[in-house]
């Protein structure tokens, strides 16, 4: 399980874009996004780096990850 802090998310479109970016790396990933806290929880067997890169490439800066 990864916990990321992601900036620039403010609406349902943002949730869909981040979810789509993660699922492009791992189609079986589970993504839970809380817009209020800007947190993204990802359950995935993929490594963190490609997941983080996919979110950044979608236009959403990842400010912390763990």
Report yes or no: 54 and 24 within 8 Å, Cβ to Cβ.
Answer: yes
Provide the number of structural domains found in the chain: 1
- pTM listed for this prediction: 0.94
Query: Mean per-residue pLDDT for 40-53?
Result: 97
> In this predicted structure, what is the pLDDT of residue 66?
77
Q: Which domain holds residue 38?
A: 2-65
Spatial distance between the Cα atoms of 26 and 9, rounded to a whole number of angstroms: 21
Looking up residue 41, the CATH number of its domain turns out to be 3.30.70.100
Query: Mean per-residue pLDDT for 11-29?
Result: 97
Query: Mean per-residue pLDDT for 47-56?
Result: 97
Spatial distance between the Cα atoms of 47 and 15, rounded to a whole number of angstroms: 21
Could you write out the DSSP letters of every residue in the chain? -EEEEESS--SHHHHHHHHHHHHHH-TT-EEEEETTTTEEEEE-SS-HHHHHHHHHHTT--EEEE-
Q: What is the residue-averaged pLDDT of the chain?
A: 96
């Amino acid at each position: 399980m990864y916990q990321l802090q992601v900036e620039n998310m403010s609406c349902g479109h943002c949730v869909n874009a981040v979810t789509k970016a993660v699922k492009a790396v791992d189609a079986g990933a589970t993504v839970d996004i809380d817009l209020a806290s800007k947190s993204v929880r990802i359950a995935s067997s993929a490594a963190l780096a490609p997941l983080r890169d996919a979110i950044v490439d979608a236009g959403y800066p990842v400010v912390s990850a763990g």
